[in-house]
Amino acid sequence: MNEPTTSPITGLSEDEAQRRRSQGQGNDAQAKTGRSYGRIVRDNVFTFFNIVLFTLAVILLVLGSPRDAIFTGAIALVNAVIATAQEIRAKRKLDAIALLTRPKATVIRDGAARGIDPAEVVRGDILEVGPGDQVVADGVVVGDGVADFDESLLTGESNPVPKRAGDPVFSGSFVLVGRARYEAQKVGVESFANKLAAGARQFTRTLTPLQREVNLVVRILLALVVYFGVMIAVTYLVIRNASLLQSVQAASVVFGLAPASLFLMIVVAYALGAVRIADKGALVQQANAIESLCHVDVLCLDKTGTLTANRIQLARVMPLNGHVETDVRRLLGVYACSIGATNATSEAIAAACGGAAMQPSASIPFSSARKWSALAFDASELAGAYVLGAPEMLQPALGDDLSWQAEARIWANAGHRVLLFTATDAASLVVIDGEEPTLPANLTALALLTFTDELRPEARETLAGFREAGVAVKIISGDNPHTVAAVARQAGLGDDGAPIQQISGPELALLDEAAFSHAVAETTIFGRITPEQKQRIVKTLRAQGRYVGMTGDGVNDVLALKQANLSIAMQSGAQATRSVADIVLLHDSFAVLPAALMEGQRIMHGMEDTLRLYLTRIFTLAFLINTIALLSAGFPYTPAQNSVIAIFILTIPAFFLTLWAPAGAVPHGSLVRKLINFVLPATIVTSLFSSGVYLYFVVITENWHYAQLILTYASIAMGLLLVIFVQPPTEFWAGGDLIAGDRRPTLLALALLMILMISPHIPLLRGFFGLAPLHSLTDALIVGAVTVGWMLALRLVWKRRIIDRYLDVNLANGGAPR
């Protein structure tokens, strides 16, 4: 910082302030609450999925399938609208929070103090701050004022920092005790907080594991679409083995291979998750954040303001020299309530000991520089002077009384803050205006007091839940490692008897890359960590293959939050932190995280069930198209029939499977590999039975249009029973998956099967679905027999692991060798 140039008494004149503002020296750059509305719309409309869907809609329209084109385009539109609406809602909520928490500034101009908006501050302004006031620009303390500042949002350290004339102050810090004036020297983008938060300006959208898997599936299916599209074009243009109408209809079905409804289910799942936890106190900024949470295998927590509540609590009162604890607590209560300038320590004592305020005859407020405070009373029952402070600072006045030393050292080494409460006669406390107070002589130790950071009430239970889910917890802080370790023990870390490894930032700075990586993997407690080290720790964990969740509240956490797979911020935290977070915890409560974790698990399980249906259907359709084309036996479905099949066995079941999905542990690893055990047997058996029934009716009726109708009924019937295999209600249906015990999917499948059976005979349903009646009861019985045969065959293949044994692999383990 530079030497002050403005008078701390008069400040700038209004004319000079306006001149400096016109020269661009104003404090205009304020932390943003996120992207602009236009950017949000662009980011959610022009996604890979939406571009694919809009392109398919145009192609289907050209091919003469307006219903399919409208359906596909509508899904893209719904996808964009839901995601955009959710993010705009989050932005508006954050804007409202920012408005409520926006600080005010007291500026000295023309010798008078007045309140202004921080954006009106200019370089050279003299600003005055008192308890609770936030510093709005970097500068230097001027004048005679002295104050203790909390810089935890910038450094992560919770200890108060005393400042006097010549000491620098930074935007984002605020005053705990005292009053002071400072000259603003670095404003706007030049301030420390804005430079530290600069990394928050660049928005990046990170795909979750589920989105990457779906992305892979879509690319594979697009390759299939291209393959079959070329095959149809060759059939029509070169071989001349199909009419133009047949080729156009075939192309419409082929382009239906692209899983448009799958995108819709993802959007619905994300929206349901966000809505379900919104009322529990979490604001979701990124639609995929809830799903992302269930993949987290290491959770990095900032201590100050995140794990703790930015408050301390009185842990123990240990009487000394024969004093009784109840008497000491009564004295402490009166002392804490009578001190003029309250601080976190006096508030913690008052909360634990109670008491009523009394008028002291003399008082010395606490100062971080001298590390003690004192009160004197003339009242007969309290006559005397009482001093509370750091033991090492009071020791010179205690004489030979060393009864407290051993105990104080033990608790200090354990990471607790230790204070000594002492007494002497009232005449020893002398306060002279304008002079630095001196410590009274002949103090007698009354009690040792130990303080701990107040843990958020829900933190212990929440962290226990994460550890039970297999999530490793690491605490990263700017505080002393011993202090952080004490908080970690409060939070339940180490309850299993395992040692808590800890390391400091200076120690990390001495390590080479390999040693740093090893330390990050093995260490639980990180203390005295800089923002850059915090970012490097998260980056290293990701390089080790971990899926990292990061919580934070201060500007010093922004870089690490941006680096994490999932970022979580507190509502009361810095504005820059809220703007980059995927999830903002309203009311600063961790209690919502277990519920959010369960919602993420529901999303994954619901999408896993949905993908089983989609992949089986799509690969079966691809097999049928290829087989029937090679045999020159027509085409398996018309576009209308393909749409009806999709509604019955994909769209409706997928929606309810997503809605009813259970919570539960989500195994790590590729989702597609895990689906092989279900999809491969189901595709093979369904393809064989489907092609068999189609070719049978082509041969006996010599009418492949009727064979298409037969295959439509059979495909719907088999697809609905496949829903029961996806969520087996009993042991009989288990094979492709474990018993779910939920009978709702079974009832849904049976209800849709009933609708299928009656729809050809009810004009309204027949017109809606376009399903003509079969020619005879015999044909209906054949379809029923094929469906039952398919069900028994598929069950046998799963139960006997026939494909596993033939291929000599373990499909349940993603196709690994047996």
Residues taking part in catalysis = 302
Spatial separation of the C-alpha atoms in residues 303 and 574, rounded to whole Å: 15
Residues 6+ apart with CB under 8 A from 24: none
> If we measure between CA atoms, which residue out of 598, 450, 472 comes closest to residue 525?
472
Residues 6+ apart with CB under 8 A from 653: 613, 720, 723, 745, 748, 749, 752
Burial class (CB in 10 A: 0-12, 13-18, 19+), 802: middle
Alpha-carbon dihedral angle through residues 592, 593, 598, 601, given to the nearest 10 degrees = 140
- 198: DSSP letter: G
427: how many CB neighbours lie within 10 A of its CB? 11
The alpha carbon of 697 is separated from its chain's Cα centroid by a whole number of angstroms, namely 55
Cα angle: 431, vertex 436, 437; to 5 degrees: 40
Name the β-bridge partners of 284: 583
Q: Which two tokens stand for residue 681?
A: 């047997």
Contact 191, 137 (CB under 8 A): yes
Contact 731, 627 (CB under 8 A): no
Burial class (CB in 10 A: 0-12, 13-18, 19+), 590: buried
> If we measure between CA atoms, which residue out of 274, 194, 286, 787 comes closest to residue 564?
286
Spatial separation of the C-alpha atoms in residues 229 and 215, rounded to whole Å: 21
Contact 540, 522 (CB under 8 A): no
Find the length of the chain.
818
Spatial separation of the C-alpha atoms in residues 550 and 558, rounded to whole Å: 10
> If we measure between CA atoms, which residue out of 200, 207, 204 comes closest to residue 288?
207
Give me the DSSP letters along 758-790: HGGGSHHHHHHHT-PPPS-HHHHHHHHHHHHHH
751: how many CB neighbours lie within 10 A of its CB? 12
Spatial separation of the C-alpha atoms in residues 634 and 625, rounded to whole Å: 9
Spatial separation of the C-alpha atoms in residues 153 and 676, rounded to whole Å: 48
Give me the DSSP letters along 505-569: HHHHHT--HHHHHHHHHH-SEEES--HHHHHHHHHHHHHTT--EEEEE-SGGGHHHHHHSSEEEE
